[in-house]
Structure 1
Amino acid sequence: MASKQKKIIFLIQCEDRKGILSATSTWFYQRSYNILHCQQHTDNIEGRYFMRIELDMADLKTTRKELEEDFAVFAKEYNLSWECHYSDYRSRMAILVSKTSHCLYDLIARKDEGDLQCDIPLIISNHPDLEIIANQFRIPFYYLPVTPETKAEQELKVRTLLKRFDIDVVVLARYMQILSSEFIEEWQGKIINIHHGFLPAFQGANPYRRAYERGVKMIGATAHYASKDLDQGPIIEQDVVRVNHELGPSGLRDVGKDVERRVLAKGVQAHLESRIIIFKNRTIVFGSEQ
Structure 2
Amino acid sequence: MVLVNEQRKLSASLPLICRCIISCILVLLTQLTLSLVPRFFAASPFIVQFALSGLVLLLVQTLCGWCRRLLGVCASAPAFVFFNILFIWGFYIAVVRQAVSSLIGGLFNIEVAMIIIGLCSIMSKDPGLITNEFPHLDKLVEGSELGVDPDNENSLLRKRVRYCKICKAHVEGFDHHCPAFGNCIGQNNYFLFIVLLVGFLATEASYVACSVQFVGKSQNFDKSQSENDWVVNLATSTMLFSILQLLWQAVFFMWHIYCVCFNVRTDEWVSPQVKQILEY
Pairwise TM-score range, normalised by the shorter structure: under 0.3
TM-score, normalized by length of structure 2? 0.22
By percentage of residues, which structure has more strand?
Answer: 1
**Structure of higher RCO (CA pairs closer than 8 Å, 6+ residues apart):** 2
TM-score, normalized by length of structure 1? 0.21
Decide which structure has the larger Cα Rg and report it.
2
